[in-house]
Chains A and B, each alone.
Chain A
Amino acid sequence: MLSTLLSQIVNGLVLGSLIGLIALGYTMVYGIIQLINFAHGEVFMVGAYGALAMFTYLLPTFIQQQWYFALPLLLIAGAVVSVGVAVAMERFAYRPLRNAPKLAPLITSLGVSIALQEVIRVFYPGATAAIPFPNIFIPGTWTISVGDGVVPIKYSGILLVVVALVLAYALNMFVERSRMGRAMRATSQDRDVARLMGINPDRVIVLTFALGALLAGIGGVLYGGFYTNINIDIGFQNGIFAFTAAVLGGIGNIRGAVVGGLAIGLIKSLAGQYMPGGSAYDYVWIFVVLIVVLVFRPQGFFGETERVRA
């Protein structure tokens, strides 16, 4: 069935773009301070809730109903909330542990992750169950007929893919071309020498958290728009996928995060369709592929085999 295959590829690309967007935050933070920030999934989740709260409690009805007003406001709110949470988390949870053994911030990130979930569960009205997300953006579906059926493509899915790819490209340009991006790469390669260049590593690190959170917050809003409801587990679920994507692509590598995300999205949707066990086992195939790739290429698709030191 060609239409089924194409539909699953579309689903995979949409989910994969989302995972890639979140994976960028994991990979950048790892690149700078070698921390797997397990709370990053929750940064994504909090962005979705923050945007929803702004929409529900602050926007007057006539703006809620105009997607071309409501959508930009949702994206801004999601980004602001995620960035705020990530910056606070870096400042108060991770910075005091800067010179502690690596395990301390890692465990802290698990704690922050649980704390953020519980804060939303306790304080957000109705968050003990899934909450509908406003389906205001471009609510239609584009249907393509192929030989044996139709391939539905939601406009909100197209939006998600386009925004994710544009943001990933912009991030890559920022890191490769700008002065701050150069400072980020320098800090990641050799923090002491970066300090000798006059770079304040604390500023670079907080910027890295903020950039990752910006992408995650936007991702949270786009996720809500596409899947039409959100719950407090979306951060954990998608966070694990995104972390896996970052490792698969080569942790610390921007291109790797995007490619890893798309690969995981496609594996999940295609394996759920075609492999034995169906969608109940789609997670299994993701980790099977991860294990197989890491056996033959431990550094991931784009990771470097070793760090060349001058």
Chain B
Amino acid sequence: MTFLEVRDLTVAYGAIQAVRGVTFTVEQGQIVSLIGSNGAGKTTTLRTISGLLRPVSGEVLLNGKPIHQLPAHEILGLGVAHSPEGRRLFARMTVEENLRLGAYTRTDEAGIREDIDRVYDLFPVLGERRRNKAGLFSGGEQQMLAIGRALMSRPKLLMLDEPSMGLSPIMTQKIFSTVRELQSEGTTVLLVEQNALAALALSDHAYVIDLGRTTLSGTGHELLADHRVQEAYLGEGVAS
């Protein structure tokens, strides 16, 4: 059965339709990317999957069951974690408090402790600064914490919105290699990226969203080789 299926999704902010016909699927264990230009509807799509927005029409199915009418806090309980655009950490709380909020629905203290340590293993800088307020961190450190926080619910599906935004190339590489590591541990990842090149190189499957619609799809390598993608999203240098 398809793990996540988004079918003909339409989402509107008031009278403005941000998403009008997004369709894609994510299979268990895959890394799937949604790429597209700014304002194409990628973030809106993720916010709808995680329950922050209600679709006007269309469906979101998780393991075949519709979830698009459920409130956000229940969708997390089904194993879907969403690290939102702009990281949105709890800036006035410490690293450790942010991680504990990621594990809010869990009550197994030993398991939570273990997972906090796992995040510190993954990102040692967070462990060194566990008592510091998250708002004081650099962009890259904040991104690590945002991913760590999303992992604390032990998600089956991890949705990352623009994890490379504002990061140096080295930090971007570090984040993407972490995503690959997570995949090898069995986490399914749905990635939204403007950095199309890095995202496609990483992805098992990818979709291009343009003006609120899914327009192209294929494996990461297929899309990397597609001249339309090259022209629109990868720039001249890569195309040649």
List the interface of chain A (C-beta within 8 A of B).
Answer: 179, 182-183, 185-186, 189-190, 192-201, 307-310
Query: Known: A310-B91, A310-B135. Contact between A195 and B100, CB under 8 A?
Result: no
CA distance A193 to B82 in the complex (A): 9
Query: Known: A183-B104, A189-B91, A309-B91. Contact between A196 and B84, CB under 8 A?
Result: yes
Say yes or no: A198 contacts B76, CB within 8 Å: yes
Determine the chain A residues whose CB is within 8 A of the CB of B105 once the complex forms.
197-198
CA distance A121 to B52 in the complex (A): 44
**Of B76, B86, B135, which one neighbours A196 at CB under 8 angstroms?**
B76
Say yes or no: A198 contacts B104, CB within 8 Å: yes
Say yes or no: B82 contacts A196, CB within 8 Å: yes
Say yes or no: B90 contacts A190, CB within 8 Å: yes
Chain A: CB-nearest residue to B107: A179
Say yes or no: B93 contacts A185, CB within 8 Å: yes
Determine the chain B residues whose CB is within 8 A of the CB of A185 once the complex forms.
90, 92-93
Q: Can you name 17 A-B residue pairings with CB atoms under 8 Å?
A: A185-B90, A189-B91, A192-B52, A192-B84, A195-B52, A195-B71, A195-B72, A195-B73, A196-B81, A197-B76, A197-B101, A197-B149, A198-B153, A309-B135, A310-B134, A310-B135, A310-B142
B68 to chain A, nearest CB (A): 15
Chain A: CB-nearest residue to B146: A310
Query: Known: A196-B50, A197-B104, A199-B104. Contact between A310 and B88, CB under 8 A?
Result: yes
Say yes or no: B51 contacts A195, CB within 8 Å: yes
CA distance A196 to B72 in the complex (A): 6
CA distance A155 to B104 in the complex (A): 44
Determine the chain A residues whose CB is within 8 A of the CB of B50 once the complex forms.
196
Query: Known: A182-B100, A310-B135. Contact between A200 and B90, CB under 8 A?
Result: no
Give the residue among A182, A195, A310 with the most B Cβ atoms within 10 A: A310
By the criterion of a CB under 8 Å from any partner CB, how many residues of chain B are at the interface? 30
| B7 located at the interface, meaning its Cβ lies under 8 Å from any Cβ of chain A in the complex | no
Determine the chain B residues whose CB is within 8 A of the CB of A189 once the complex forms.
90-93
| B87 located at the interface, meaning its Cβ lies under 8 Å from any Cβ of chain A in the complex | yes
B109 to chain A, nearest CB (A): 10
CA distance A186 to B97 in the complex (A): 10
CA distance A179 to B104 in the complex (A): 8
Query: Known: A196-B84, A198-B105. Contact between A310 and B89, CB under 8 A?
Result: yes
CA distance A307 to B86 in the complex (A): 15
Say yes or no: A193 contacts B84, CB within 8 Å: yes
Say yes or no: A200 contacts B71, CB within 8 Å: yes
Chain B: CB-nearest residue to A192: B52
CA distance A197 to B98 in the complex (A): 10
Query: Known: A195-B52, A196-B52, A196-B72. Contact between A182 and B101, CB under 8 A?
Result: yes
A193 to chain B, nearest CB (A): 5
Determine the chain A residues whose CB is within 8 A of the CB of B92 once the complex forms.
185, 189, 308
Binary contact readout B126-169 vs A (1 if CB under 8 angstroms, 0 otherwise): 00000000110000001000000100010000000000000000
Say yes or no: B51 contacts A193, CB within 8 Å: no
Determine the chain A residues whose CB is within 8 A of the CB of B135 once the complex forms.
308-310
* Closest A-B pairs by Cβ, 7 of them: A195-B72, A198-B105, A310-B89, A198-B76, A308-B135, A308-B91, A193-B88
CA distance A193 to B76 in the complex (A): 11
